[in-house]
Structure 1
Amino acid sequence: MLTRAQIDPVVTAALAEDAPWGDLTGEVFLPLHATATARLTAREDGVLAGIDVVSAAFRLTDPAIEVTAHRADGDRFAAGEVLAAVTGPARAVLQAERIALNLVQRMSGIATATRRMVDAVEGTGARITDTRKTTPGLRALERHAVRCGGGVNHRFSLSDAVMAKDNHLAVLAQQGVDLTEAIRRARAQLGHTTRIEVEVDGLEQIEPVLAGGVDIIMLDNFSLADLAAGVRLVAGRAIVEASGTVTLETVAEIARTGVDVISSGALTHSARHLDLGLDMTVTAGPESGGGAAGAVAVASD
């Protein structure tokens, strides 16, 4: 679950970027005491992620705004469903709506893309995971969205685990360092709870890596035949992760090779924003002497 400590700094920065000195349009166009009622509505099918982020966008703009969630993170929904209701001062609701929509649309797009991949590999035993290919500053939100879609998270940062990739191995080779011995030396410097993962790009690298005592082997950009052969070579001695050009069209075939984990950067770097909108009604306050305004559909801009 996301915490306020993760959500609030991101939302605060986004609100400050969008309205550094307030919302000039709202201040000059909207009556001070006007009240807005809005519905967060799905315009296509999907999986929800970011309902607490929506609440934060409105809460941090004006604590007088009330947000009532009708769906929870991880819930599937259909086009036309109302996901949340928002009520409060019209100026504040309109000031916050774009930030709320930007974030929940992105997060729900990631959750929906993840859910599709998870569904595609159902029954194979393979797990779908993300990568560090996230939007700077939004990693906690985007990775939460992956979990909402049924996926799991890879290491959160460079500080969490040892993961030697092709560039690391190229440096070792250039320096004439034996790969097996390098892994053993790395292991000797780590605590017993820290895992080591090594990326390989050929079947011939698997035995030297296993001899070093790795926990996870990443088979990067392997053909389906080589993935299956790699799984047989590893034979349960390490977790096998497949990576490289994973798409919704290819993920099921990859899973059927017997790998344990399939990582996809596309879940976060290429997910399409889901189409959600705020359908809004504004009512002039008693001090303005006005009546009810018509319903206004707020679209993404």
Structure 2
Amino acid sequence: MTPYDDELAAAGLDPAAVLAQIREALAEDLPAGDVTSLATIAAEAQGTGVFAAREAGVVAGLGVAALVFHEVMGDTVTVTDRVPDGTRVEPGDVVMRVSGPTRGLLTAERTALNYASHLSGVATATSHWVEALSGTRAQVLDTRKTLPTYRALQKYAVRCGGGVNHRFSLSDRAMVKDNHVVAAGGVVPAFQAVRAAYPDLRVEVEVTDLDQLRELLDVGCTEILLDNMDSATLAEAVRLNDARGPAGRATLEASGGLTLERAREVAETGVDFISVGALTHSVKVFDLGLDLSEG
């Protein structure tokens, strides 16, 4: 048990899994201790590290960063002035202070910053898409294009930025993509095969043209991904879908080749979701720094 278990669980994270990942990350840095800090810093030295934003954005992962310090320093560390994950910050804003033995602060610093900077980058990127879609019915979705072993954390950061999570694994929802369609002999046979095998599971099917969309609407598919369509085609897909009325309407997700510059145009076609792999697979880290003061 750690002091952060309840907080992590409330955020939809598995505390044991997060702690195991942190321990693995620290093991990369500490096969034989932090030799520089051991050599240059007195064992009794105390200090405070101030985490501050160096750019504008949305922070996430500060609780994970705090847990890194606790894992290294135990109850000798004190965390104060931590802003909630999901807070929008400006350059110079202090987001957290950590106080304790100076050796421990510097030993944990990089690992803590790696988590908080990366997850804040995901949250900030997501917030830009949320802002671009404001006023439309479209919501931004993440994808499974996540860093291995980081999926839960990255998807948590997406939520901090105002986005919505897609499926977490290959088991919690069926996603029929182009290769499944080829193997099954068409979008309808693929959809029906999944529905027969897993009658209680949500099924989403990817289409590349309006004919496939019509076929799926005719057989009652309720979740459809519109892949790599231009805005005019997306708008026609929405029109065809809405014409079915509330009872026959599917949720429509636009995906493929989307950019932030095009986000508003795509949202205004009337799609329900826009999925963006770049939220997690190629996000720029958020510039967070830690400045140390001793005493």
TM-score of the two chains, using structure 1 as the length reference:
0.89
Distance (Å, rounded) in 2 between the aligned partners of 1:150 and 1:181 = 36
2:161 aligned with 1:153: no
Q: CA deviation at 1:136?
A: 0.5
Q: CA deviation at 1:178?
A: 4.7
Distance (Å, rounded) in 1 between the aligned partners of 2:137 and 2:84 = 26
1:261 paired residue number: 273
TM-score of the two chains, using structure 2 as the length reference:
0.91
Give SS of 1:249's match. helix
1:127 paired residue number: 139
Distance (Å, rounded) in 2 between the aligned partners of 1:207 and 1:277 = 52
Give SS of 1:279's match. strand
Distance (Å, rounded) in 2 between the aligned partners of 1:253 and 1:44 = 28
Distance (Å, rounded) in 2 between the aligned partners of 1:22 and 1:113 = 35
Structure with the larger helix share: 2
1:73 paired residue number: 85
Q: CA deviation at 1:183?
A: 1.7
2:178 paired residue number: 166
2:286 paired residue number: 274
Distance (Å, rounded) in 1 between the aligned partners of 2:58 and 2:14 = 20
1:231 paired residue number: 238
Tell me which of 24, 33, 48 is aligned to 1:37: 48
2:217 paired residue number: 210
Bigger drift between 104-113 and 8-17 goes to 8-17
Contact 2:205 2:223 in 1 (8 A): yes
Contact 1:73 1:148 in 2 (8 A): yes
1:197 paired residue number: 204
Give SS of 2:137's match. coil
Q: Which runs of 5+ in 2 are unaligned?
A: 1-10
2:28 aligned with 1:21: no
Matched pairs, number: 278
Distance (Å, rounded) in 1 between the aligned partners of 2:92 and 2:21 = 29
1:83 paired residue number: 95
Distance (Å, rounded) in 1 between the aligned partners of 2:238 and 2:86 = 32
Distance (Å, rounded) in 2 between the aligned partners of 1:178 and 1:82 = 55
Q: CA deviation at 1:3?
A: 4.2
Identity across the alignment (%):
47
Larger Rg: 1
Q: CA deviation at 1:121?
A: 0.7
Contact 2:122 2:157 in 1 (8 A): yes
